[in-house]
Structure 1
């Protein structure tokens, strides 16, 4: 969808970009909720009713739950870093291509300038030759 939005005229693009961001947020929230429900289901299957009771044995389980949520947060942050690094690499690649194109254009301009200077020299020489012929 993001690629299709880039092809839309710029006058309508902002509206679709905001919808796309909203959809991405909804999907991310649904993923978080699914992970949370999955973790809760796995814990209940593993520990049974001990999670629901108020016994002192719950302290290590609470710590485990905090550790698991911390690990999930770390995984999300790592994924964001990988995404950021991917975007940075793509940006660097695009920048290198632009610099390469600019270098080629510079060479073309330099060559055009040299050809024009050479042609100017030939025009000056022909003017001198014509003047010499006119005098004779």
Structure 2
């Protein structure tokens, strides 16, 4: 089995596409055709699959950190495509949730008070208030999603920056080790040169002593 980062990325991407295909079929099929509790159940299954797909995207981003920088850009582009697809289906799911909530509100509003007044004034007030609350909740969810995506992107940028810094530190450490080895070699060479210098001094001093002795012997013989 291939355990390289690229292979694991491909596996996560394949699982993501299968989940997204299943989600699309539910949104276009059961969640779109069913009514009432059956539609709610279908949308709940869609939410579970979207959460799993979101987790797979996070795993793909983690795997990118271990991919060589020379080919990392193409994997990042694939992740962006997956995020865009995921965001589109999340928005579709939220829209269908909103439609279902509006349908529930309308079904609970009751029968019209008269032919000129489709809804009673109190029922219409409650309906408008419920719709306003629903729209406000939808806006908050969209804002939370935007913040979460921005935070996720910032986290990925931080991980990439930390990885770059680690590579720089490792390169600096290798350079220092190389310099240390060069210094050790130079120190050994200097020690050898010093030893040879002392040896040459000893030899020179011995030669001088011998010459002095020879001169002394010659002079002594001439004088006697």
Task: Using the TM superposition, give the Cα deviation of residue 72 of structure 1 relative to its aligned residue in structure 2, in angstroms.
Answer: 0.3
TM-score by length of 1: 0.68
Which structure has the bigger radius of gyration?
Answer: 2
Task: Using the TM superposition, give the Cα deviation of residue 97 of structure 1 relative to its aligned residue in structure 2, in angstroms.
Answer: 0.5
Task: Using the TM superposition, give the Cα deviation of residue 47 of structure 1 relative to its aligned residue in structure 2, in angstroms.
Answer: 5.4
CA distance in 1, matches of 2:205, 2:214: 14
Map of 2:55 onto structure 1:
none
CA distance in 1, matches of 2:192, 2:205: 20
Map of 1:64 onto structure 2:
152
Q: Which runs of 5+ in 1 are unaligned?
A: 1-30
1:44 aligns with 2:132: no
Q: Which runs of 5+ in 2 are unaligned?
A: 1-68, 92-138
Number of residues paired by the alignment?
A: 104
Residue in structure 1 matching 2:172, options 75, 84, 88: 84
Task: Using the TM superposition, give the Cα deviation of residue 101 of structure 1 relative to its aligned residue in structure 2, in angstroms.
Answer: 0.6
1:104 aligns with 2:192: yes
SS of corresponding position for 1:119? helix
SS of corresponding position for 1:64? helix
CA distance in 1, matches of 2:150, 2:81: 13
CA distance in 2, matches of 1:114, 1:70: 66
1:114 aligns with 2:114: no
CA RMSD of aligned residues (A): 2.3
